[in-house]
Structure formats: C-alpha cells, structure tokens
Amino acid sequence: MEEMDCWVLSRLQDVVRKATEGFESYEFHVPSFIIHQFCVNDISAIFMETAKDRLYASAPGDRERRSCQSVMWELLGTLTRLLAPVLSFTTEEIWQQMRKIDDRLPESVFLAPWPEARGEWIDAALEERWQTMLLVRSAVVRALEKARAELGIGQSLEAAVSVTVPPALKPLMASAPETFWADLCIVSAFSWSLASDTSKDTDEVEVAISRVEGDKCPRCWKYSSSPEGEEKLCPRCADALRRMEASL
C-alpha cells in the first residue's frame, strides 16, 4: 500500500477512537467536530487532492490506483457508520448505494457493526513523519499562491519547484524520490537542495518557483520534456495506455 494511504488510514483510526468516545460520553459535538476536521483537513485538502492523479491517469490495475481505491472504500464505509447516529437518512442512502457495489454488506447501515480502531493500522512514527512532510508541502503551496500573481502561473502543474531545506531535513527529503514530492505538491517538476546555513530550524523551508518547461500532457496535464506520439503524451500516460490497450 502507498505511504500516503497508510498515513490516512492511521489518521482514520484516531478519528474512530475519538468519535466513539464522544458518543459514549453523550458529547455529540465531539464526533461531529472530529469528523468534520478530518474530512476537510486530511481527506479533502491532502488525500483527495493528490489522489486525483492516481485515479485518473494510472492504468486500472496499477498498484497505486488500487491502493487508493481500497482506502477510499474503507474511508467511505467507516465514516458512513460513524455519521449514522446524526445523519440517519443521508448515511442510509449512501449505504444503499454501497450495497450496489458490494451486496455482502448488511441490509442497512444501522445493522452494520460499529467501527473499531484497528491497532495494526496505527503508525505513530508515520504520522510524525508526515507532519513534517506536510510542512514542506505547506511552504510550497504558499509560494505557489504568490507565484500565481507574480509569474502568471495558473494551475500548480504549470510550476517547477526548487526547495532549499536545512540539513536536519535531509534524511526526510532523501527518503522519497523527487517524483513523490512533485505529486505531493501537485507540480510537474520538483528538486531540492540543502541550505548552507546550518543554524536554520527544521521548519524553515525556502521555495523558488519557475514556469515549468516542456509539453503539457493532454491526459494528466503534467508537463514533460519527452512527450510521445502525435498527442504528446507524457511517458507515464503513454505506458498506461499501451498496457490498457494490450489488456483488451
């Protein structure tokens, strides 16, 4: 399973635990707040925002796409059951749509077992790692907003990002390829280097934005310096389409 998918599953277990505690103590505002924050900050702003590329551009059987779909199904089922006590009609309608995909599910969301936090999915070290990774992403997002006005960059995929980080962040940055960081920040090109000033704190990240070079892939909208064919597909999309055609 992809690292981001493991992270969001770990975060989900904390939501299940806190929401359950809120219901059991009759503090109904707690689960509503916890679930809302999780949906807005973790799922919408980070997970789904970056997952779109995997879902749209990867071949149907690709590992990263299947991993994302599995996590989305788990998120949907768990959150639907957690919200059932306060959104009864809406969650029941969602559940009936889910049963069209998997008829093995109970006949009603109110007949389904209550979610329980799964200890094997909780990874405190991974969550701590991602907390720092998201600080880097936040610095890039802020720089992109500024670049939209100064450089006339529209979508973030039109940008090439160069990040300078303090030495303390070297192990984190080196632990993932630059393509991973590009996907996390939703840009077409990403590079990083170490700051010469060793006194910088770990949260001090300098970001330089430029307009990316190359041709825009009509399928995934990323820019590539080595497009293929008349349609100028990026190598990844060209490979995905070849494999999809071969499987027909």
* Average pLDDT over the chain, rounded to an integer: 94
pLDDT at 45 over 60: yes
CA dihedral sign of residues 114, 46, 183, 190: negative
Strands 223-224 vs 159-165: parallel, antiparallel or unpaired: unpaired
Q: Which residues contact 68 (CB under 8 A, 6 or more apart)?
A: 2, 5, 51, 54, 55
Model pLDDT, residue 198: 64
Beta bridge mates, 208 = 162
Where residue 153 falls among pLDDT bands split at 50, 70, 90?
Answer: confident
3-state helix, strand, coil in the chain (%, to 5): 60, 10, 30
Where residue 190 falls among pLDDT bands split at 50, 70, 90?
Answer: very high
> Domain boundaries in the chain?
3-121, 132-212
pLDDT at 23 over 90: yes
Give the whole-angstrom CA distance, residue 176 versus residue 171: 9
Where residue 69 falls among pLDDT bands split at 50, 70, 90?
Answer: very high
CATH architecture of 3-121: Orthogonal Bundle (1.10)
Does 132-212 match 3-121 at the fold level?
Answer: no
CATH class held by domain 132-212 = alpha beta
pLDDT at 204 over 90: no
pLDDT at 248 over 60: yes
pLDDT at 200 over 60: no
Model pLDDT, residue 247: 83
**DSSP, residue by residue, 126-178:** HHHHHHHHHHHHHHHHHHHHHHHHHT---SGGGEEEEEEE-GGGHHHHHTS-H
pLDDT at 215 over 60: yes
Model pLDDT, residue 150: 85
pLDDT at 31 over 90: yes
Q: Which residues contact 122 (CB under 8 A, 6 or more apart)?
A: 10, 13, 14
Share above pLDDT 70 across residues of the chain, in percent, rounded to a whole number: 97
